[in-house]
Structure 1
């Protein structure tokens, strides 16, 4: 069996540049609600789950306000906004090569499940992935990305010694560590880890082509 038979991917900032679409929908949500965010709506907020991000943007955990803004966000993003999502250059080729090489691919993302599936269908990628996990796949929702990865691996009998997690943020690396998985950092995305943020045992890749070569090593 190949060293990396199972490749688990983060989504936003790793496979797709979803920032423009996400940021536009956040701005639309605040405009529709007649609210002003307390921090800038820019690429630094992309990555955490929707509710957590809205709490950051509003500076409050008021459930009524968060629910209102979440509904406005979904009305924008889940209808037309997600279609503005772009694949990073080389990612489509990477997925095709990994699938052709017999690797088993999965997604573990903080993104909600519904728009994740819409985006994968939109990009023509759904067939590459054996399974797609999101925090809201279960009720109650999973508490962390580390818990989500653990659940995915347990549900699908994925052994850690032939698996790897690929992401673009320190949270991704820490979640991989929590599950005793190697972590490969995709440094081409907006969550790109700088050397000072990299743990010594993590590996960084500047292009999908370089990552593909590593994942296809036997």
Structure 2
């Protein structure tokens, strides 16, 4: 089983940290719950939605580099899937250095055969170019993400899809927690499909 993973909100619970950063910038006018819901669409969407200035965006990027990896834990149960997969790859808009820092903190670098990061020059999702590159190289069976944006490129090139903590129509599989991965026998469904 060869899996493409999104990073933020899929492998690691990074949204609470981003929510706090936005809240600090936006103040009491917006609730954390509202910020979180905008971030779940995408960080770019949230930046536009709240009309952040270039200076605020620069401040946000500066704060992102200071987030302690201990404040961005992996989701429970995800490691058991990583261990049982034949190949794991990451496709993220996050800068490579930031991803590597978190993976190193948790000792997870060895789980991944490759990563396409936001600073690698590929077009942003939903453009399928990065997915196609990884699929051509690793013959991917499944793409897992937490947003519709993460599964659109996979669907475009014929990879089965799984949404994590998101019930937007269009995915092949849905998980609210990673312990459901084996209970639903997703590996069996992939091998039969």
Q: Please state which band the TM-score falls in when normalised by the shorter chain.
A: 0.7 to 0.9
- SS of the aligned residue for 1:7 comes to strand
Task: Using structure 1 for the length normalisation, give the TM-score.
Answer: 0.71
Matches within 5 A, 1:1-218: 4=1, 6-29=2-25, 42-47=35-40, 50-58=43-51, 65-66=53-54, 68-98=55-85, 103-138=86-121, 141-145=122-126, 146-154=128-136, 157-159=137-139, 162-186=140-164, 189=165, 192-193=166-167, 197-199=168-170, 202-212=172-182, 213-215=185-187, 218=191
> 1:51 Cα deviation (Å)?
4.3
Structure whose alpha-carbon radius of gyration is higher: 1
Number of matched residues? Answer: 187
Task: Using structure 2 for the length normalisation, give the TM-score.
Answer: 0.79
- In the alignment, structure 2 segments of 5+ residues that lack a partner are none
- Name which of structure 1's ranges 201-210 and 122-131 shifts more when overlaid on structure 2: 201-210
- Cα deviations by residue, 1:29-82 (Å, 9 ceiling, x for unpaired): 557xxxx77x97521122466444312221x7xxxx32x222211222212354
